[in-house]
Amino acid sequence: MALLAACDSGEQARAPTGEQARAPVPGADVGRGKLLLAQYQCGSCHQIPEVAAARGTLGPALESYGRRSYIAGQIPNRPDALARWIVDPASMKPGTAMPAMGVSEADARDMAAFLYALP
């Protein structure tokens, strides 16, 4: 917990980029998000910094996610949209190659919070 708090304050201290996406996801747990990304095996298709074995190349690498303007090249990158994308990508971009992974809303929000916390 102390470690997480330290990470969080590091995030706050970093110069803001002006992107809305840098806003924290209310009530989400960054540390749990990291564990969930490994558990759901998002890394079989994505490279994700700090997540063990997340070296997949079928999907785009997910580093610096808070600095992206768009999700999947077309959806404005905001916390609610990112969580919804993780739950059901095809509802936002019909025909996308990313499958729905059976992720709950709460789990998706934690994963989104972790992605936004990445440097």
Angle formed at CA 106 by CA 104 and CA 109, multiple of 5 degrees: 110
Interface mask toward ligand HEC for 21-60; x: CB under 6 A: ----------------x--x-x-xxx-----------xxx
Q: How far is the CB of 18 from ligand HEC (least distance, A)?
A: 19
Q: How far is the CB of 70 from ligand HEC (least distance, A)?
A: 6
Q: Which amino acid makes up residue 110?
A: D
- Cβ closer to ligand HEC: 9 or 69? 69
Tell me the torsion sign for CA atoms 22, 52, 89, 31: negative
Are 98 and 84 in contact by the 8 Å Cβ rule? The answer is no
Pick from 110, 116, 57, 117: which is nearest to 87 by CA?
A: 110
Are 30 and 107 in contact by the 8 Å Cβ rule? The answer is no
- Cβ closer to ligand HEC: 6 or 91? 91
Asked if 98 touches ligand HEC (CB under 6 A), the answer is: yes
Binding interface with ligand HEC (CB under 6 A): 37, 40, 42, 44-46, 58-60, 62, 68, 71-73, 85-86, 93, 96-99, 101, 103, 111
